[in-house]
Structure 1
C-alpha cells in the first residue's frame, strides 16, 4: 500500500513558540505512523483576528502516512494536547500549538471534524509561503497551482524567522 502524502501547517504563539514548533517537528518525526519528508523554514507572522497577542511562528511539513484522515487528525490533536493546547471557542486566539491538515493526498473531505483542503489555506500567507518553499510545483485538488495562489497573496509582513 502506498502512503498518502499530506501537508501539515504548524503554528504557535504562546510560551516559547520556537521551542514548541521545534518540539512538535521532533515529535512528528518520531511518530511511528508518520514519515516527515520535508519541513519548511520557521516563519514569523502577525496574528489573525485579535491583534493583542504575540506574533506566531509558523511552518509547513510534508508527511507520508498510512493512517486515514481522521486517524491523522486524532494523532495531531494528541500532539497538540501534549504541548499544552486548550481547545476554546475563541477563533484565532492564542495557541500553544496548532497543527492543521492542509492537504490529505488529493482528497476532498467534508465532515463535522475535518475539512480538507483546509478552508483557509488559499488566502493565508503563513500557509502559502512555507508550503511553496517545500512544494513549489503543488497543485491543489481543485486544480489551482500553489504558485498562482502565492502570486495573489500579500506577504503581510511574513518573514523567515532567524535566531
Structure 2
C-alpha cells in the first residue's frame, strides 16, 4: 500500500465539491484523513476564493492508474478537458506525494507546490509534519517553517461525511 497525499481545490460550489472529493477518494483507497479546509484567494487570476485542503489515503493502485482516476473524477465533476491553469475550478485534484516516488514527468513528484504555496504546505503540515520529502531531505515541518504568507490562509469549519474503510 502506498500512502498518498492529494491536494484538493475548489472555488465553485465549494462545499459540494469538497465533499465530492472526499467521497470519490474514499472509493480509491482507505484510511482517509483530511487536513483542515482553508479558504484562500486564487493565485494568478482574479475570482472567488478557493477551498484548499489535503487528503491522505492508502491505496494499492499504481501511480499511473491513480493519476488517471483522479483526472476522470475531475471531469466527472465538471472540469473542462481543456481547462487552463489559472481559472475557476469545480474540482482540482493534484497528487502532492505518492509514497516515496520521485518523478520529473507528469505527474511531478513530489509536487513542487509543496515548496511554493501555503495552501499546499499548511494542510500537509497539519497531516504529517515529520514526513520527509523524497528527493529534498527536509521534513514538511522544516519547509513549513520557511514559508511566507502562511497567515493568508483562513481555516473553514467544514466536516465531511467520513465513512472510513
Question: After superposition, where does 1:126-145 map in structure 2 within 5 Å?
Answer: 126-141=119-134, 142-145=136-139
Question: After superposition, where does 1:87-102 map in structure 2 within 5 Å?
Answer: 87-88=81-82, 90-102=84-96
Q: Structure 1, unaligned stretches of length 5 or more? A: none
The offset of 1:4, in angstroms, is 0.6
Q: State the alpha-carbon separation in 2 of the partners of residues 160 and 54 from structure 1.
A: 16
Hey, what does 1:162 align to over in structure 2? 157
* Structure 1 counterpart of 2:16, from 16, 19, 33: 19
* Structure 2 counterpart of 1:69, from 56, 63, 73: 63
The offset of 1:93, in angstroms, is 1.4
Structure 1 runs of 4+ with >4 Å offset:
none
Q: Structure 2, unaligned stretches of length 5 or more? A: 159-165
Hey, what does 1:152 align to over in structure 2? 146
Tell me the alpha carbon deviations over residues 116-146 of structure 1, each in whole angstroms, 9 at most, x when there is no partner. Answer: 1112221110011111111121110021111
* Structure 1 counterpart of 2:41, from 41, 46, 56: 46
Q: State the alpha-carbon separation in 2 of the partners of residues 36 and 102 from structure 1.
A: 17
TM-score using structure 1 length: 0.89
Q: State the alpha-carbon separation in 2 of the partners of residues 26 and 37 from structure 1.
A: 10
Tell me the alpha carbon deviations over residues 101-126 of structure 1, each in whole angstroms, 9 at most, x when there is no partner. Answer: 00011110122x31111122211100
TM-score using structure 2 length: 0.88
Hey, what does 1:114 align to over in structure 2? 107
Hey, what does 2:118 align to over in structure 1? 125
The offset of 1:21, in angstroms, is 0.6
